[in-house]
Structure 1
Amino acid sequence: MNIIRSFFICAVLATLVSCGNAGNKDAQTVDTAANESAKGGKVEFNEPVFDFGEVKEGDIVERIYTYTNTGTAPVILSQVSASCGCTTPSYTQTPVLPGKSGEVKVSFDSNGQVGKQQKIVTIVSNADNRVTTIQLKGEVLPK
C-alpha cells in the first residue's frame, strides 16, 4: 500500500511541476512577443556635439540642439540637466510624435569659466534610448 501511495504522490508532483514549467514558458513567449511588437520612440540628435571655438570670459554661448523621434511612439523628455550651474537647458515640453522634431536649447555663461570647457547635458525620456547626452565645448579666454 505504501508503494502505491508513494508512486501516486510522485506522479502528482511530476504532473504539477511539468504543468507549471509549460505555463511559464508560454507566458515568457507572449511577453517577448509583446515587447518586440511594442517598440517605442527614439531620440536622435542631428549634431550632439557643438564646438563654440573661443569666446571671451563673460560671453554667453547659446545653442539649439534639434532631435528627431525616429521611433514609432511619441517621445516625452522628462528631465534635462546640465553638468554645472553655468549651463542652463530648456527643452520641448510637449510629446514629440514619430517623425517629428523637438529642441533642447542650452545657454552657457562663461563668466568665471576660463580655459577649455566641456559641458554635458543629460536628457532623460520615455524613448527606447532613455538617457542621451549632448555636449557644448570650446575655450574661454580671459578678459
Structure 2
Amino acid sequence: DKPLITLGDFNWKEEQKAIFTLKNTGGSPLVIQDVTTSCGCTTVSYSKEPIQPGKEITLEVVYKAEHPEHFSKTVTVYCNTASSPIRLSLSGDAK
C-alpha cells in the first residue's frame, strides 16, 4: 500500500516495527520468491504461501539500530510479476 514508511524519532535501543501490505492485483497467484534487506539490522517476516488474486499479504519489518543515527533501509521483494523486484523503504532517526 505504501512503498515508504517513516518511523520518525525513537530511542535507538528500542526495536522498531513497520508493516508493509502487498496486494495481488493480478489474475494468478503471487509468489514471493525472496526478500532481501540492505543490512543485517533489518529483518522481515511474512507468510510463504502464494497470495491469491485480490488478496493481501503483510510483511513485518523489524529494525534494530546498532547506534544513534539517521537511517534509510531498503527491503527488496522478488516475486513472479513483471514489476519485480519491488523496493520498499524504511527510514527514521534513532536517537
Q: TM-score range by the shorter chain?
A: over 0.9
Question: What is the CA–CA distance in structure 1 between the aligned matches of 2:36 and 2:54, rounded to whole Å?
Answer: 25
* TM-score, normalisation: structure 2: 0.94
Following superposition, which runs of at least 4 residues in structure 1 exceed 6 angstroms of deviation? none
Paired letter, 2:49: T
**Alignment gaps of 5+ in structure 1:** 1-45
Query: Residue in 1 aligned with 2:84?
Result: 130
Shift of 1:129: 1.2
Bigger share in strand: 2
CA RMSD for the aligned pairs? 0.9
Whether 1:71 and 2:51 are equivalent positions in the alignment is: no
Cα distance, 1:134 vs structure 2: 0.7
Question: Please, what TM-score do these two structures have when normalized by structure 1?
Answer: 0.64
Give, in whole Å, the separation in 2 of the partners of 1:92 and 1:126: 16
AA aligned opposite 2:62: S
Q: Distance between the aligned counterparts of 2:66 and 2:88, measured in 1? A: 21
Does residue 10 of structure 2 align to residue 55 of structure 1? yes
Q: Percent identity?
A: 29
Measured in 1, the distance between the counterparts of 2:6 and 2:51 equals: 27
Shift of 1:91: 1.6
Note the alpha carbon deviations across 1:115-138, whole angstroms, 9 max, x for none. Answer: 210010000011221200111101
Q: Is the 8 A contact 1:82 1:122 kept in 2?
A: yes
Cross-structure match for 2:94: 140
Distance 2:73 2:58 in 1: 17
